[in-house]
Amino acid sequence: MNRRYLGRVSSPDTDVPPLRGRAREAQSNDEAILLAAHDVFSEYGWGAPMAEVAARAHTGVASIYRRYPSKTELVNAIRELTLEQICVRAEECVAEARAAHPGISAVALFLRRHILSATAPMGVTFGRYVETTPQIDELGERLHAALLDIVAVDHELGLIPRHYGPADVMLTITHLRPSLAVAPERAIEIHLRELDYVLHGLRAVAAQNTPVSGEPSNWQEWLRLNSTNGGMASERAAD
């Protein structure tokens, strides 16, 4: 993950003074824990061993539990971090696409940048139902607003069909970011190639007004999928 996006960022234009002394050290330790936890949970799922997280973060298990007393709190911190990264990336892509002359696809820019920047699939609940938090809800609203702007740019340019919305953008990311048992460079190459197919398909549907199957996804559906891993994990957790 890109360290640039770590921390509680409210917007890409926020001018936050640098931390000093112990506060800076504490933030650095927290960043190391979240980076390590994201990678370990992505590999192992909910059963990720905390000892492995501690080893990769170069800290002790006790230090992790002092900061995050439960796995749920740690996973929610990772969810906040992941959503925050995507929010900043989306807002940057909107600004860049709107400033370009002639116009460029904000959807393509965002999806390509996400594939090149993200280090793991977006399995941010790691196979288990996790309740949302006010911070996650706030980030979800911020992301929704940014994605509405992204699709608006492409709608104006006629590059995507009118029914392709914010939820579709996030679902496209989900489909384009599976774990592949190949070298990272080859995985990115494969993801970008598949993205080209998707983008060409979207433009063809928009140009020809081709009907597509099924009901379009909406934002609330994506939020449910993001929180419950497709709705199945909540049923397992209730058993």
The domain that holds 212 is classified in CATH as 1.10.357.10
Q: Which residues of 85-114 are buried (b: 16+ CB within 10 A; e: fewer)?
A: bbbbbbbebbeebeeeeeebbbbbbbbbeb
More confident position, 147 or 25: 147
Task: Name the DSSP letter for residue 220.
Answer: H
- Return the percent helix, strand and coil in the chain, to nearest 5: 70, 0, 30
CA distance 41 to 145: 29
Instruction: Specify the pLDDT at position 128.
Output: 64
Structure tokens at 172: 């496209």
- Is pLDDT above 70 for 228? no
Least confident of 105-114, 127-136, 166-175, 185-194: 127-136
119-141 residue pLDDT tens: 555 545 565 667 778 998 899 99
Domain count, the chain: 1
Q: Which of 111, 228, 127 is nearest to 176 (CA)?
A: 111
Domain encompassing residue 176:
3-238
Burial of 162 (0-12, 13-18, 19+ CB in 10 A): exposed
185-198 residue pLDDT tens: 898 999 999 999 99
- Is pLDDT above 50 for 200? yes
Question: How many other C-beta atoms are found inside a 10 Å radius of the C-beta of residue 176?
Answer: 19
Q: Confidence class of residue 223 from pLDDT cuts 50, 70 and 90? A: confident
Q: What is the pTM of this model?
A: 0.78
CA distance 127 to 129: 7
Q: Which of 233, 228, 195, 236 is nearest to 110 (CA)?
A: 195
CA distance 187 to 48: 23
